[in-house]
Structures are given as C-alpha cells and as structure tokens.
Amino acid sequence: MGDDIVLRLDRATAEGLYVTLYEAGEHIAAGAAITPPTAEEVKRLGALLRDLRHALGRRCSPYCDHV
C-alpha cells in the first residue's frame, strides 16, 4: 500500500467535508440548494485541500515553498 494517501482530520474538518460532499451530491442529484459555508468552514476545508494537494505531490503555485 505504498501509494496510499493518509490525512488526519479533526472532527470539525471531517464534519465540514462530509456536509460539503453530501450537499454537492444532493445538488447534482436533485437540484437541492447548496448552503454557503461559514468562514471557519472555508478555512478548515481550504487547509484540508492544501494538505491533500501536497500529499499528492502537487504544489499550490510556482511560488509554493511550504511543502
């Protein structure tokens, strides 16, 4: 399993990710409205996406130096 990606999530980030994915799926499947995230949810999910991007070996930008 050398190609696995493992990220640790705190409960709030895991909940935010679940809600985001669920609501996106509902929107696509049934046209349900997507609830706008709070500023704190945006911050947590942004950090998660940054960590995932880095775990996949991608850089944020050509100037990314925090990998």
Give the three-class secondary structure for 32: coil
- Tell me if 45 sits within 8 A of 14, measured CB to CB: no
Read off the pLDDT of residues 12-64 as tens digits, 9 standing for 90 and up: 999 989 988 888 888 888 888 788 888 998 999 888 888 888 888 887 777 76
Which structure tokens are listed for 42? 């945006």
Is the alpha carbon torsion for 59, 60, 64, 66 positive or negative? negative
pTM of the model: 0.69
- Tell me if 26 sits within 8 A of 67, measured CB to CB: no
